[in-house]
Structure 1
Amino acid sequence: MKTAFLKDTIREIRGNFGRFLSILLIVSLGCGFFSGVKATQPDMVETAADYFQKYKLMDLMFTSEIGVRSADVEAVKTADHIKGAHAAYSKEVFYRYDNKNIVLKCISFNSALPDDSPNLMNKLNVIEGRLPEKDGECAVEVKLSSPSTFKLGEKLTFSETDDTKDLLDTLENDTFEIVGIVTSPMYIGYERDPTTEGDGTIVSNVFLREEEFITPYYTELFVDIDGVDELDPFSDEYKNKVNKFGEEAYSAFENSVNKRYSDLKKQAEERIASAKTTADTLNQYVDMDYSILSEELPKIQKTAAKTRKIYEAEVAQGKRAYLEKAAMLKAEKALMIVQELMSDNGDNSGVAHKKYLSQLDSAYKEISDAEAQLAEVSEPAIYRFDRFTASNDYAQFKGDSNKIDLISRVFPVFFVLVASLVCLTNMSRLIEEQRGNMGIYKALGYSRKTILGKYLVYSGLAAIIGGVFGSALGLLLLPNSIYDGYKLLYNIQKLNTPLRPEFLLGSVGVSVICICGVTAFTCLRELQAVPGSLMRPRPPKEGRRVLIENNPKIWGKFSFMSKVTTRNMLRYKRRFFMTLAGVAGCTALIITGFGLKHSIGSVVDKQFRDVFVYDGIAVMNNRYNYDENKRELENVGEISVHMQAMLTEFEAFHSGQVYTANVCVPDLPAQLENFIKLRSADDLSEIALDDSGAVITEKLAKLLDINVGDSITLKNSEGQSADISVSGICRNYAFHYIFVAPELYQNSFDKEVLHNIAFVDLKPGTDFDAFRYTFLRSDHFYGLTYKEDQSEGYLNSADSLNTVVAVLIFSAGLLAVVVLYNLAEININERKREIATVKVLGFFDRETDDYILRENIISALLGVIIGMPLGRLLHYFVTVTAEVDLLMFNRELAPSALLYGGVITLIFALAVNVALHFVLTKVDMVGSLKAVE
């Protein structure tokens, strides 16, 4: 009996294979989309983690303003939790490209370290060619960042960025042949290190053997932390462990550098004392016989030469000139004056005597200046970077993957709901069609459980096969399709797409539960009837009067076909509302896809056109005071308007939450409007910045749950905190900002405002690249960032999301086709006798199409109308949910998104009608009319 029943179940699948395949494909589409989109973020993270581990990306990087010595490296290696440490050289150079000097960064790699060495870090990945093996060879980065002319075999000639220096004092060669094209785990995207050279932009990195550098100091120290390799490299757990385990290594590095600094300062003091002693000796000899003085000349010359030699060895280090070096230079200059005096030992005239006295005074003045400068010397700054702070690419990759994850939390779920709705309709219709067979089974003595099992096998098998197939295909194809947009931004080209059972089993399980659940509910409801009742077909639904028939004036103007269509649509209410829900859901998904594209892409215009209206931000050198920097800015002819300000990161606290924000204290709050527009988040009205309180950005206010009138606690890097009232909340889209008037800041923190930047507007027609090159020649400025430079990173990130959005739109469109076709086919199957009847009555094919398919068009049109407000709500929900902490999408829905969503859905509806025309022409009139018998 069981064998016969199993055969009948298989026969049922064969007999209704179209419906079985339909359910299978819909489930496959829903599960595939859900699994694929959900898996993209973990695939990206896992791929990056494998890449970083394979090429041994450092965990921490230390630098100091007096460079790195071998003793510093050894000191770090002795700290706990340190697997290895390695130092490297770097040097910024000019390269002539496209008729101008561009800045390249030469970075050393140690070819002597074996692959299994714990000290090997930031291993280069050879894409083409090989690594340099001898003098005069180099490797360049792939074209993602390198000039297009960088090819194997080409020779690059570099020059010093400082005209007063010789590049060959730093490098063994100035011309190198390209023998390899590589990538580095330190630089996976477009971003390169900042620089004060050239136009302020490092175009690309060039990798040289460590032996090519002849400077006595390294520039960076890389550290590999033990016990963190198996952690998610983007997780807070990894970041916290690295910072915790790296604390002892940082302390060891700091102590080593400070000890070396003390030794250098002591040497400088000794040289000053030596110069002073030599000058005193000369002063005593001035009044003596010049023959005696001549005897002392070799000694003085020897001292001067020794001082110069020591100084030159010491000054060729780090990135900045320090006051202790200035002091040494003063001492050396004094000795050189003495040397110059001694060089003319043949002149014994009174004129020479006066010359000695005059220049001795100059020597003493240089010595005095050196002593004063040395007294001002403070301990050198020491910097610690982790992966997040050492490279913007690292943090950006994490942000991009998180955006996909946030989108996948909402969009695929709604997608699966729409797909499930169609499956439920299919199974409900199948059970209703099987009433006669169910009655026969009951009459033959089959139990409800056995009968139910047949249809559960039917629906469950379709859900399982479709879910597994769709999920497997989605996990393989969708992450790669989405990541294609990011290949233009990152060097990590090949995405790992493992089979993720958690998404496969989760999506398949939900589908099986939903479909089998509705199958069981519908089947058990039908089985409550007696066999005789089940074996008799249900009578056709009666036509009912519709509400509009109560108005004869309107109803009378309807044609016959219009009246039939109107009645039939309301005659099959469940199918009608299912169609409305399915079409509305698909329309909402398409609208959301286009709306999301606009919301992400328009952030750049909103932020850098409507909020930030300055041309650039100059980074000031704080060695010069406010007035000196102001005069320097005023002397720059290309600048039309400027204003100095303080821009520093603070921690903002409120309601138990803490976020990092950029505190901006403008010098003249009334002029801030010329550079940054403060507009109310509610009505876009202008907000005045004054001493009544701080103005904070909208996203930060939402995260901290702050309203106007509340107080916010700000904490600076020194641990000093203050409570400041919030007087306004302004519209802003990228990052968190808090604007504070200078007097309010001084009163709150009891300290002067340190102006470290200046907002600048350039005169029309200014060549930005040429201006930046000349602007950075001044010692008053460390850098100049244009607004376009800032927006470029956002544009790249937004463009990469276009691929994600395109996949969403394509999938939603495909779902719309499947939904429309399935619901229309169910309509035809339900009404085959009716269709056969009108055909027998003489309806032509076009009239039959009009009779049936006009309902589809009207249902689709009504579904589009309902889907538009639903799409608006879904778009808002997705944009709010998909936002990261530092970014606020444009929550306005573009009218074009509504238009595209409606038009695309209607086009799909027309395409489905064309396909269904051929189904209607194949309806067997005789067979359909005799089906009851």
Structure 2
Amino acid sequence: MTPMAKYMWRNIRDSLGRFIAIILIILLGALIFVGVKATGPALNASLNATVKQDRLSDVQLMSTTGFTSKDVATAEKAAGAQAEAVKFKYVSGSKGQVVALYGYQPGQQLNQFSLQSGRKPVKPNEIVLDQRAKRTFGYKLGQTYTFPADAKLTRRTFKIVGFADSPLYIDNAQRGSANVGDGAVRYFAYIPASQMKMSVSSLLNVRFKSLQTADTVTDHYADLVRAKEKKLKAVFKPRAAARNQELLAPTLKKLDAQQAQLDAAKRLAGNTPQIAAQQAALTAGRKKAVAAVKTSYTWQVRNDLPGFSAYGDSSDRIAAIANVFPVFFFLVAALITFTTVTRMVEEARGQIGAFKALGYGKWRIAVNYLNYALIGGVVGTILGSVIGNWSIPRIVIALYKNEYLPLQPVVPIGWDSAALAGIFSLLATVGAAAIVVREQLAEKPAALMLPRAPKSAKRILLERITPLWRRFNFNQKVSYRNLFRYKSRMWMTIIGIAGGTALILTGFGIKNSIEASGSRQYSEIVKYQAVVRLADDAQPTAARRVLAADDHYRSSLAVTADVTDLTAHGQRQDDVTVFATDQPAALRRYIGLHAQKGGQAITLPASGVVLTQKTAKQLGVAVGDSIRMKTTVGHTGRARVAAIATNYVGNTLYLSNSAYEKMLNVKPTANSLLVRLKAQTASQRNTLARRLLKSGDALGTSYTVDQQKTVSSMGKMLNPVVMIFILLSGVLSFVVLYNLTNINVAERIRELSTVKVLGFYDQEVTMYIGRENIILTGAGILFGYAGGNLLTAYILHQAETPQIVFPLHISLFGYVVATALMIGFTGIVMFITHQRLKRVDMVEALKSND
């Protein structure tokens, strides 16, 4: 080993604390940068692996007339398609709970459920229930499960032999909606297909082999599925007519036979009134039979399944956050590392001078310090990248099991993120060493072997304010002079503390703001508690009679509710909810419409529409612009944007009945009720929904509390990531503060030893440094408040979805925790510094290098 190499390793040994600090800061930066960047792709990859393993269908069809083997063959005409028909229906189960009931067949290939306990149903009287039925409703293995008679099954009682998860239902909180019971599906179940009284299958699952390598929650996959769905619709277009003929054939054959008999009788007896009447009856019967058989299909893809859209939004949101937060985190770490390495090389100016005097070349001397920085940067990057890529995604996936079905962790190696972390790390370590070594090597050996001349003292601004300056004691004056004398150190400490505060505050801000989107939407804007969809041709008064019989009913407002597609300036926004009413003043009690700018209350105008803020942003329109609208039933029209309203969840358009008629040239018909209710329990809500469905005047009831739970679950899903942010930000803040204080003490050890020799007590010597830390901590915290708000606002903007706007909101608790942590870290660092200064060797420190 060469003398220079020995010196480098000795230097690492003698400054082990600083070397470890460099590694630790780089490690933390790389850990969160690589780890969080890997989390979004890992969530997607884990879901992809799960749905691929369970062979989840890409497209599902439901038919009004059922499916046969011919339909399976028809579906498989589309290139690469694998199709499977199954029996399925919604029924009322035990305790009146709505169940999505599937017929199980051994050897089933698609949408395979995965057992979590027990076994599959083998005997006719066996049933497997959703894991949610066990977790939420307390069912157990071996219990008897009873269906009511209207479920129309071969038998009514079954033995529970297993609990399972299904790729069709990845969200633990929701199972979709149905047109039976209270309208909300509680769980799914599988019984032997032979026990379902159905002559044909009711559901057709289709899977495409070529789509299984695509990321299931991306727009790319959605485009591929849309193309496949288009091909399926093309092959099924003639199939609908053929299916009608299959079903009509027996009836038409019978009618044709009767027709032939009448024709024979007519030839023999002539066209008597009786024969004419029979012919008319047969013709009417034929028309009625044809009209009664009409095959139509309902199509859905994976994104229409409960939870898929929310899961995709969640992983996208984490990916958006990962593009901002870890970068800022890493920049703070890199900045402090840069300072540490710079100080390390500056301390070695005497050795550099000695090496130059001994005849070593500039490059040979520089390599010694570059290798020191390189080793620290590489070790920190490798450790941080490996730990981050392995741990953070798995922690998040493990904690996601509370919201989604258990996923097998699949974490792709983030080579690109690790490479970026390596580049940043080397810039902060080797780059800093190169810059400072270059400056040092430009000096003469004799100058390098002398201590750098201290900065000359200058009057600071506070000294010019004489009345204030006179009130300060000696120690205070020294502290203020030192603060402004070493400006680079002052700003570096402020930036380090501000960065740590901002990162902690941002962690809380992300969580609080996402939660605020739901709480504000359903308190300030949506003031009704339920929406009742009226049956066709039903009058609002009929449904109101059912509502009025409930003790929790307060009032209701009849509205025309629809879904529309909007276009403007070449932009398009699909699936926008429309509410029209003939009582604009009364609407205020149900929906709080306030202008996005200014906050003034909005009253629906006689002409023009009111858009919510996200819809307006997506279309790129402002007040006064024109938009084009096309409803689901094909009505089109154009109208002016009269106002843009604050809104956090969903895309909605509001207008008066008169504006609706002017815009679409059709008179609106009330088809829904916005209902205000007193506080209800879940059981009371379900009871009311069942009564409305049973009356025949309502197609279904949706409660805002369920929607609010869905929105609030977004915050819960981000909790693991946010907690990781806060924890690691706190660790980084402590390491940064400790490192900067160590640098400060090392730079001023002669000065501190001098005041100690002059008779200052240990506490006074510590406060010589500590007072500056307290001032800089306070300034850093204030800057951190501003930085935290700016960073949170930017991240929220990046994390927005086409459906949700996140208002900037950081709770007082977040500020308190961030402040308390920074003050606590400062206190701990001051205590450690105090213990160090008590043991300082004053004689050694005051030795002259001259």
Q: TM-score, normalised by structure 1?
A: 0.84
Q: Which moved more, 1:34-43 or 1:236-245?
A: 236-245
1:221 matched to 2:204? yes
CA contact (8 A) 1:860 1:909 kept: yes
Alpha-carbon shift at residue 9 of structure 1 (Å): 1.9
CA contact (8 A) 1:62 1:383 kept: yes
CA contact (8 A) 2:240 2:296 kept: no
CA contact (8 A) 2:581 2:655 kept: no
CA contact (8 A) 1:587 1:901 kept: yes
Number of the residue aligned with 2:92 = 94
Q: Which moved more, 1:3-12 or 1:763-772?
A: 763-772
Query: Partners of 1:726 and 1:35 in 2: how far apart?
Result: 45
Query: Partners of 1:514 and 1:816 in 2: how far apart?
Result: 18
1:80 matched to 2:78? yes
1:838 matched to 2:758? no
Could you tell me which of 754, 766, 776 is aligned with 1:849?
Answer: 766
Cα distance, 1:502–1:902 mapped onto 2, change above 3 Å: same
In structure 1, stretches of 5+ residues that fail to align are 114-119, 280-362
Number of the residue aligned with 2:62 = 63
Query: Partners of 2:773 and 2:678 in 1: how far apart?
Result: 61
CA contact (8 A) 2:46 2:407 kept: no
Three-state SS of the structure 2 residue aligned to 1:878 is helix
Query: Partners of 2:478 and 2:579 in 1: how far apart?
Result: 72
Cα distance, 1:685–1:369 mapped onto 2, change above 3 Å: farther
What per-residue deviation string (whole Å, max 9, x for no partner) do you get for residues 184-206 of structure 1?
Answer: 11111122131122222221111
Three-state SS of the structure 2 residue aligned to 1:206 is strand
Cα distance, 1:130–1:416 mapped onto 2, change above 3 Å: same
What per-residue deviation string (whole Å, max 9, x for no partner) do you get for residues 445-465 of structure 1?
Answer: 222222222111111110110
Three-state SS of the structure 2 residue aligned to 1:133 is coil
Cα distance, 1:679–1:277 mapped onto 2, change above 3 Å: farther
CA contact (8 A) 1:475 1:499 kept: yes
Query: Partners of 2:775 and 2:257 in 1: how far apart?
Result: 99
Alpha-carbon shift at residue 719 of structure 1 (Å): 6.2
Number of the residue aligned with 1:11 = 10
Could you tell me which of 140, 144, 147 is aligned with 1:158?
Answer: 147
Query: Partners of 1:729 and 1:158 in 2: how far apart?
Result: 50
CA contact (8 A) 2:116 2:163 kept: yes
1:108 matched to 2:107? no
1:761 matched to 2:676? yes
Q: Which amino acid aligns with 1:93?
A: V
Alpha-carbon shift at residue 796 of structure 1 (Å): 1.5
Number of the residue aligned with 1:196 = 179
Query: Partners of 2:709 and 2:679 in 1: how far apart?
Result: 21
What per-residue deviation string (whole Å, max 9, x for no partner) do you get for residues 136-185 of structure 1?
Answer: 1121222477544222222211113x4xxxx4xx4332222122221111
Could you tell me which of 658, 671, 675 is aligned with 1:743?
Answer: 658
Could you tell me which of 602, 605, 613 is aligned with 1:687?
Answer: 602
Query: Partners of 2:828 and 2:526 in 1: how far apart?
Result: 47
Number of the residue aligned with 1:178 = 160
What per-residue deviation string (whole Å, max 9, x for no partner) do you get for residues 325-359 of structure 1?
Answer: xxxxxxxxxxxxxxxxxxxxxxxxxxxxxxxxxxx
Cα distance, 1:738–1:31 mapped onto 2, change above 3 Å: same
Cα distance, 1:141–1:696 mapped onto 2, change above 3 Å: same
Query: Partners of 1:708 and 1:664 in 2: how far apart?
Result: 18
Cα distance, 1:369–1:757 mapped onto 2, change above 3 Å: farther
Tell me which structure has the larger Cα radius of gyration: 1
1:819-834 aligned within 5 A: 819-834=736-751
Three-state SS of the structure 2 residue aligned to 1:690 is coil
What per-residue deviation string (whole Å, max 9, x for no partner) do you get for residues 512-556 of structure 1?
Answer: 123222221122122111111111111333443322222332222
1:107-126 aligned within 5 A: 107-113=102-108, 120-126=109-115
CA contact (8 A) 2:75 2:81 kept: no
Number of the residue aligned with 2:119 = 130
Alpha-carbon shift at residue 228 of structure 1 (Å): 1.1
Three-state SS of the structure 2 residue aligned to 1:65 is strand
What per-residue deviation string (whole Å, max 9, x for no partner) do you get for residues 577-624 of structure 1?
Answer: 1001111111111222222221111111111111111121112222x2
Query: Partners of 2:835 and 2:663 in 1: how far apart?
Result: 79
Alpha-carbon shift at residue 373 of structure 1 (Å): 6.2
What per-residue deviation string (whole Å, max 9, x for no partner) do you get for residues 773-797 of structure 1?
Answer: 2111022212101111111111222
1:531 matched to 2:445? yes
What per-residue deviation string (whole Å, max 9, x for no partner) do you get for residues 95-124 of structure 1?
Answer: 444xxx2222221232134xxxxxx10112
What per-residue deviation string (whole Å, max 9, x for no partner) do you get for residues 823-860 of structure 1?
Answer: 00101111111222222223222122112212111110
Alpha-carbon shift at residue 883 of structure 1 (Å): 1.4
Query: Partners of 2:39 and 2:832 in 1: how far apart?
Result: 34
Alpha-carbon shift at residue 669 of structure 1 (Å): 4.5
Number of the residue aligned with 1:20 = 19
Cα distance, 1:270–1:556 mapped onto 2, change above 3 Å: same
Cα distance, 1:488–1:749 mapped onto 2, change above 3 Å: same
Number of the residue aligned with 2:689 = 772
What per-residue deviation string (whole Å, max 9, x for no partner) do you get for residues 195-220 of structure 1?
Answer: 12222222111112223223102121
Query: Partners of 1:673 and 1:73 in 2: how far apart?
Result: 52
1:867 matched to 2:784? yes
1:474-623 aligned within 5 A: 474-622=388-536
Query: Partners of 1:707 and 1:536 in 2: how far apart?
Result: 68
CA contact (8 A) 1:62 1:250 kept: no
Cα distance, 1:372–1:84 mapped onto 2, change above 3 Å: closer
Query: Partners of 1:731 and 1:276 in 2: how far apart?
Result: 67
Number of the residue aligned with 1:916 = 833
Identity in percent: 29
CA contact (8 A) 1:26 1:423 kept: yes
Query: Partners of 1:753 and 1:369 in 2: how far apart?
Result: 35
CA contact (8 A) 1:665 1:742 kept: no
Three-state SS of the structure 1 residue aligned to 2:578 is strand
Query: Partners of 2:256 and 2:697 in 1: how far apart?
Result: 32
Three-state SS of the structure 1 residue aligned to 2:402 is coil
CA contact (8 A) 2:335 2:428 kept: no
In structure 2, stretches of 5+ residues that fail to align are 263-277
Alpha-carbon shift at residue 708 of structure 1 (Å): 0.3
Cα distance, 1:377–1:611 mapped onto 2, change above 3 Å: farther
Number of the residue aligned with 2:229 = 246
Number of the residue aligned with 2:52 = 53
CA contact (8 A) 1:146 1:203 kept: no
Number of the residue aligned with 2:215 = 232
Could you tell me which of 698, 701, 705 is aligned with 1:788?
Answer: 705
Three-state SS of the structure 2 residue aligned to 1:221 is strand
CA contact (8 A) 2:580 2:657 kept: yes
Q: Which amino acid aligns with 2:616?
A: A
Query: Partners of 1:172 and 1:600 in 2: how far apart?
Result: 48
Alpha-carbon shift at residue 372 of structure 1 (Å): 8.5
Could you tell me which of 185, 206, 209 is aligned with 2:189?
Answer: 206
Three-state SS of the structure 1 residue aligned to 2:214 is coil
1:802 matched to 2:784? no
Number of the residue aligned with 2:270 = none
Cα distance, 1:675–1:373 mapped onto 2, change above 3 Å: farther
Three-state SS of the structure 2 residue aligned to 1:108 is strand
Q: TM-score, normalised by structure 2?
A: 0.92
Number of the residue aligned with 2:581 = 667
Q: Root-mean-square deviation (CA), in Å?
A: 2.9
Alpha-carbon shift at residue 887 of structure 1 (Å): 0.7
Cα distance, 1:368–1:775 mapped onto 2, change above 3 Å: farther
Could you tell me which of 301, 309, 331 is aligned with 1:386?
Answer: 301
Could you tell me which of 361, 366, 390 is aligned with 1:452?
Answer: 366
Three-state SS of the structure 2 residue aligned to 1:67 is strand
Alpha-carbon shift at residue 268 of structure 1 (Å): 5.7
Alpha-carbon shift at residue 376 of structure 1 (Å): 6.2
Cα distance, 1:909–1:552 mapped onto 2, change above 3 Å: same
Three-state SS of the structure 1 residue aligned to 2:211 is coil
Cα distance, 1:721–1:516 mapped onto 2, change above 3 Å: farther
Query: Partners of 2:634 and 2:842 in 1: how far apart?
Result: 86
